[in-house]
A and B are shown apart, each in its own frame.
Chain A
Amino acid sequence: MGKDTQLNIWEVFIQSKSGLPYIHAGSIHASDEKMAMQNARDTYTRRGEGTSIWVVPSSCITASNPGDSEMLFDPSNDKIYRHPTFYVMPEGATNI
């Protein structure tokens, strides 16, 4: 793969409504924070997808190593008691 000459890569997170979590939308190229914000806005919120944006330089993100995934994630497979499925739902409640 050739060298990426199109500025630095930033990850974009969009919040669709106030109070909801920011969800990863994708990445963009930009040379600085201001440009990253504008490019994120132009690339990912053109159809009313968001009310707030976070941009983060991709280099600032620490990702888990795919080689560690057995160690990190498999141990939770047989711990069904960690799911709150043993409660009886009070009558009439839709969420607890």
Chain B
Amino acid sequence: MKKEEALFKYLLRLADDSLILGHRLSEWCSKAPFIEEDLALTNISLDMIGRTEALLTYAAVVEGKNQTADDLAYRRPEQNYYNHLLCEQPNGDFAFTIARQLFQSTFEFFLYSELLKSKDETLAAIASKSIKEIKYHLQHASDWTIRLGDGTEESKIRMQKAVNELWMFTGELFEMDEIENALLKSAFAVDLVPIKIQWQNKIQQILTEATLIVPEDDYMQTGGRNGIHSEYLGHLLCEMQYLQRAYPDAKW
């Protein structure tokens, strides 16, 4: 595989995580428990979609086929989406949304901290803008995890249930394949082996403070990085891509 090809796919992986989870968070708009939280979740959503735009704009340049960031977002079929399965899981209740965000934002915090040092200057520049936002996302998710876990009987049950149900989607976060290994060699990408340990320690610390139980590793879902998704992504894309599919090249 040529280096451009590998980099293109790597950028799509990063972009798809933030686009799909950003879209999921946008589904809370007008439905959050109260208005301040409505704003918080949609702010995080906009941060993630903004990061996606930077990543896809660069991906389009790397690909060199005259596509735009919008083409990549709105015209790619499900099998060519490479987000983690974690990101496409439906919102569930508020605790479920928070647990999903905690797992992904913790992962992104360590990943983007390393991407700051990427030899690819554009990627390092995107990381330096994103890391400030990600720090806030992680703070928001960990504060809520602790508040709900160490809260009422009901909130504790819901928070633990969310953590347990999402645990099987966390193994995939640390998979390395030939694409990432090749880019790691040229110091473009990040080694996920040490990230896994950092992630485990951080999650252990937050869940312990939240008086929650860290689940045992059991069967782990996989496939997202290769375009094999759960039944939820297709429906999400149906809604997200509707306009461009129904009215290609529509303009305001």
Which residues of A are interface residues toward B (Cβ below 8 A)? Answer: 6-7, 28-32, 34-35, 38-39, 42-43, 46
> Do the beta carbons of A39 and B43 come within 8 Å of each other?
no
Write 29 A-B pairs (CB below 8 A) sorted by A numbering: A6-B34, A7-B34, A28-B36, A29-B34, A29-B35, A29-B36, A30-B36, A31-B147, A32-B147, A34-B143, A35-B143, A35-B147, A38-B40, A38-B139, A38-B140, A38-B143, A39-B36, A39-B37, A39-B39, A39-B40, A42-B36, A42-B39, A42-B40, A42-B43, A43-B35, A43-B36, A43-B39, A46-B39, A46-B43
Cα A43 to Cα B143 in complex, Å, equals: 18
Closest 5 CB pairs of A and B: A39-B36, A42-B40, A42-B39, A6-B34, A42-B43
**Residues of chain A within 8 A of B147, CB atoms compared:** 31-32, 35
Residues of the A chain whose Cβ atoms lie less than 8 Å from the Cβ of B36? 28-30, 39, 42-43
Residue of A nearest to B140 (CB): A38
Closest residue on chain B to residue A41 by CB atoms: B136
A32→B43 CA distance, assembly (Å)? 21
CA distance A46 to B39 in the complex (A): 10
How many interface residues does chain B have, given as a range? 10 to 19
- Taking CB atoms, residues of chain A closer than 8 Å to B40 are 38-39, 42
17 additional contacts (CB under 8 A) given A35-B147, A38-B139, A39-B37: A6-B34, A28-B36, A29-B34, A29-B35, A30-B36, A32-B147, A34-B143, A38-B40, A38-B140, A38-B143, A39-B36, A39-B39, A42-B40, A42-B43, A43-B35, A43-B36, A46-B43
Q: Which residues of B contact A34 (CB under 8 A)?
A: 143
Q: Which secondary structure dominates where chain B touches chain A?
A: helix
B-side contacts of A39, CB under 8 Å: 36-37, 39-40
Cα of A32 to Cα of B144 in the assembled complex, Å? 12
**Distance (Å) between the CB of A50 and the closest chain B CB?**
15
Chain A residue, CB-CB nearest to B39: A42
Chain A residue with Cβ nearest B38: A42
Docked complex Cα distance between A16 and B109 (Å): 29
> Within the assembled complex, what's the spacing in Å between the Cα atoms of A28 and B36?
7
Contacts of A35 in B (CB 8 A): 143, 147
Please, which residue of chain A has its CB at the minimum distance from the CB of B146? A34
Q: Which of B34, B36, B37 has the most CB of A within 10 A?
A: B36
Q: For the complex, give the distance between the alpha carbons of A69 and B143 in Å.
A: 43
Complex interface: chain A residues within 8 A of B34 (CB): 6-7, 29
Instruction: For the complex, give the distance between the alpha carbons of A35 and B139 in Å.
Output: 11
CA distance A9 to B43 in the complex (A): 21
Which A residue's beta carbon lies closest to that of B37?
A39
Which B residues, 147 to 184, have Cβ-Cβ distances below 8 Å to chain A? 147
| Whole-angstrom CA separation of A42 from B46 in the bound complex | 12
Q: CA separation between A46 and B143, bound complex, in Å? A: 20
Q: Nearest-CB distance from B87 to chain A (Å)?
A: 22
Min CB gap B251→A, angstroms? 26
In the complex, chain B residues 107-144 whose Cβ is within 8 Å of any chain A Cβ: 139-140, 143
Question: Please, which residue of chain B has its CB at the minimum distance from the CB of A36?
Answer: B36
